[in-house]
Amino acid sequence: MKTQLVIAEKPSVGMSLAAVLGAKDRKDGYIEGNGYIVSWCVGHLVGLADAYDYDEKYGKWRREDLPIIPEDWKYTIFKGKDKQFKILHSLMSRKDVASLVCATDAGREGELIFRFVYDLAGCKKPFTRLWISSMEETAIKTGFDNMKDGTEYDSLYHSAMCRAKADWLIGINATRLFSTLYNRTLNVGRVQTPTLAMLAERQDKISGFVKEKYHRVKLDIDGTITAQSKNILDQQDAINIQAECHNQQAVCTSLTKEQKAVSPPKLFDLTALQRESNKLFGYTAQETLNVAQKLYEAKLITYPRTDSRFITSDMAAGIPALTQTAAVLMGGTDASLTINTGQIVNDKKVSDHHAIIPTAEVAKADLSKLADTERNILYLTAARLVCAVGDKHIYEAITAVFECSGYSFTAKGKVTIAEGWKAAERHFTTTPEQKDNEDGGTLPPISEGQTFSDTTAMVTDHYTQPPKAYTEDTLLSAMENAGAADTTDEAERRGLGTPATRAAVIEKLVNGGFIVRKGRQLIPTADGENLIRILPDPLKSPELTAQWENALTLIAKGEADPDSFMRDIEDMARALVDGNETPAEEYKTLFGTPKEAIGLCPRCGGNVLESKKNFHCENRDCQFVMWKTDRFFTSKKKELTKSVATELLKSGKAKVKGLYSEKKDKTYDAVILLADTGGKYVNYRFDIPAK
């Protein structure tokens, strides 16, 4: 009997697929049965090899070795994932496996995850492509009924591979180039560097901001209306106006009423969901993505890594029932819901996946078992669906202009005409209502020409405000829109990064010490601001991403040559190295003076430097570290000193005096050997002479 091998991206997804396909026999790393084998890649299983896999000399970072441009690209299995690759390789090689199904996430990167494994395993068997946006049983069955030949996605694969190789070439060469020039590990990337540049630019504006004081004269009219003057820079002018207007008559000289409508919000894509959850709950983008992924795998929401805010026309028929389910989920009633399905349907604005919406499974799920974070994100998604299909919120904006002693004062207010979707928002959310616009509260009935004699005037002081620091909410928005003007409408990806990767970019900048979180604010560190100072403009601009995405979109459509794109990227890497031979004179000491090397790394040959807590290899990829408080020494009441570490690196052994023996309660001298085995921790042992 011929068997079909289905390869998913994650174990949880593989298990859901197996349940629908009727595969029930659990094995080590896969599930088999009913003519199927279902296995998985545990996320990114295979990737492009590191530079030192091409040549040992690349283990040490040197400017003279740049640019590094592989002729024949190599793959590597990510650390700790060898076992699963061997399982997949073995399954692909089974004689009864006639064909495969690529069931990784439906998109450019999902395609690459499968193809990396397929290529490294040397598999030549035919495969088909599963393309779904929901883990519900009906969606999975429909997906398997409508699979296409895998070769139809070759152009998408070429686009994904070009993206990966281009990021490798620019990332590795730029990182090594500027790290060696400025004697500090400086991570440079096509997405993270422009993101850091936006943060640094905003911080510069905040730091250079000089606040200015201004004044307003506030007029209290009849105890029910508050009208204000324009901004007044000179305080004495404000005092004079206040004195002239106090207890004087005010006349309404103009009354304008304008009906306005606020359309319902769009459904969530991942970025919009991350922004809203950060604004309302303070969740980081990564936290929101992690929670949304759990809800997706639990079949409670649709695929979260999407950049679309619409659904497709084939889904429209199910929206009324789903909206009613969402309303009941939120503790409301479905009796008086307005459901305008058409305003959330747009086939042209759905690429890989439609917007994030709850699934019908929520009606059957025990939501009390969800964590608070999961429940918040699920409720937020459900509430957005109910609001998105609602009527417009309509109100009347009122602007009244009053004249008093020859001066003009303005009051604003509004009157709600139709609550529309705002009624659902107020009912289904427990967070404070966000202001729609700058219009004020209600105003009493006023007529043009009406005179008021009961007036009180006072001066209020105000200050101009600096730009606000980025929060995760506003930074995600800036990343999403960066370079938009330079990106074609057909581009698969817009802005910096993708909805799925923006959270990881922010975390990488935090973990690299280039930005810090202060409450909900994201602030660049001194190293982050200095990094932006030394880099050339092309690496800091989102235009580079826009150019790449335009080209990658054409490649994915089969309208551009991948080899030509890669030649351009290689030329860019060469030009980057040739154009930065020495550090800029004014920036030489930005990251401090170079540290003195105490010896050479026994693993890669790089310099070993001293820090407060350890002696470490300058090459962070090497991970060679000798801790000063290593238990081998502290258990003998000693610390690893610089002189001992230097000798160990030089000759592999060193004589250490004053070691303490708890058993004998006395000190002794001994020769210690450096017994490094290449693992996470460096080992030491005593040099015991042969008898």
Q: Which residues partner with 257 through β-bridges?
A: 398
Number of domains in the chain: 5
Residue 274 domain-assigned? yes
Residues 562 and 644 in one domain: no
Residues 28 and 136 in one domain: yes
Could you give the percent of the chain with pLDDT greater than 70? 94
Question: Following DSSP, what letter does each residue of 417-435 receive, concatenated?
Answer: EE-THHHHHHHH--SPPPP
Domain boundary among 425, 445, 463: 463
Query: Whose CA is closest to 318, among 294, 345, 295, 292?
Result: 345
Residue 682 domain-assigned? yes
- In angstroms, the CA 355 to CA 344 distance is 9
Q: Give the Å distances, CA to CA, from 36 to 1, 3, 101, 187.
A: 11, 5, 10, 44
Residue 248 domain-assigned? yes
Q: Which pLDDT tens digit goes with each residue over 116-151?
A: 999 999 999 999 999 988 888 888 999 999 999 999
Residue 173 domain-assigned? no
Residues 103 and 229 in one domain: no
Residues 7 and 150 in one domain: yes
Q: Which pLDDT tens digit goes with each residue over 556-604?
A: 989 999 999 999 999 999 999 999 999 888 888 888 766 788 999 888 8
Domain boundary among 557, 586, 615: 586
pLDDT of 75 reads 95
Question: Is 157 a residue of the active site?
Answer: no
Which candidate in 157, 283, 296, 303 is catalytic?
Answer: 303
Residue 174 domain-assigned? no
Query: Could you tell me the pLDDT band of residue 674, with boundaries at 50, 70 and 90?
Result: very high
CATH number at residue 297: 1.10.290.10
Region at 332 (left for phi over 0; alpha for psi -120 to 50; beta for the rest): beta
Predicted confidence (pLDDT) at residue 335 exceeds the cutoff of 60 = no
Residues 17 and 152 in one domain: yes
Predicted confidence (pLDDT) at residue 435 exceeds the cutoff of 50 = no
Can you give the length of the chain in residues? 691
Residue 576 domain-assigned? yes
Q: Across all residues in the chain, what is the average pLDDT?
A: 90
Residues 384 and 398 in one domain: no
Q: What is the dihedral sign for C-alpha 558, 561, 566, 571? A: negative
Residues 200 and 325 in one domain: no
CATH number at residue 491: 1.10.460.10
Residues 411 and 485 in one domain: no
Residue 592 domain-assigned? no
Judge residue 405's burial from the number of C-beta atoms within 10 Å of its C-beta, 0-12 exposed, 13-18 middle, 19 or more buried. Answer: middle
pLDDT of 423 reads 86
Q: Which pLDDT tens digit goes with each residue over 351-371?
A: 778 999 999 999 888 888 999
Predicted confidence (pLDDT) at residue 608 exceeds the cutoff of 50 = yes
pLDDT of 591 reads 82
Residues 375 and 406 in one domain: no
Q: Which pLDDT tens digit goes with each residue over 286-308?
A: 999 999 999 998 899 998 988 88
Residues 36 and 84 in one domain: yes
Domain range for 347 is: 270-388
pLDDT of 309 reads 94
Q: Is the peptide bond before 11 cis (omega within 30 degrees of 0)?
A: no
Q: Which two tokens stand for residue 286?
A: 């990564």
* Cβ proximity of 227 and 411 under 8 Å: yes
| Backbone φ, ψ for residue 313 (5° rounding) | -60, -30
CATH number at residue 139: 3.40.50.140
Predicted confidence (pLDDT) at residue 430 exceeds the cutoff of 60 = no
Predicted confidence (pLDDT) at residue 433 exceeds the cutoff of 80 = no
336-346: average pLDDT: 89
Q: Give the Å distances, CA to CA, from 92 to 61, 97, 103, 125.
A: 38, 7, 15, 8
Predicted confidence (pLDDT) at residue 439 exceeds the cutoff of 50 = no
Query: Could you tell me the pLDDT band of residue 114, with boundaries at 50, 70 and 90?
Result: very high
What's at 429, amino acid-wise? Answer: T
Predicted confidence (pLDDT) at residue 511 exceeds the cutoff of 90 = no
Residue 169 domain-assigned? no
CB within 8 Å of 421: residues ≥ 6 apart: 264, 265, 387, 388, 390, 391, 392, 393
38-59: average pLDDT: 91
Query: Any idea which of 18-27, 325-334, 505-514 has the lowest mean pLDDT?
Result: 325-334
Residues 89 and 15 in one domain: yes
Q: Which pLDDT tens digit goes with each residue over 172-224?
A: 999 999 999 998 888 898 889 999 999 999 999 999 999 999 999 999 999 99
pLDDT of 690 reads 42
Residues 633 and 515 in one domain: no
CB within 8 Å of 74: residues ≥ 6 apart: 48, 49, 53, 54
- In angstroms, the CA 142 to CA 437 distance is 44
Domain boundary among 410, 438, 463: 463
Predicted confidence (pLDDT) at residue 491 exceeds the cutoff of 70 = no
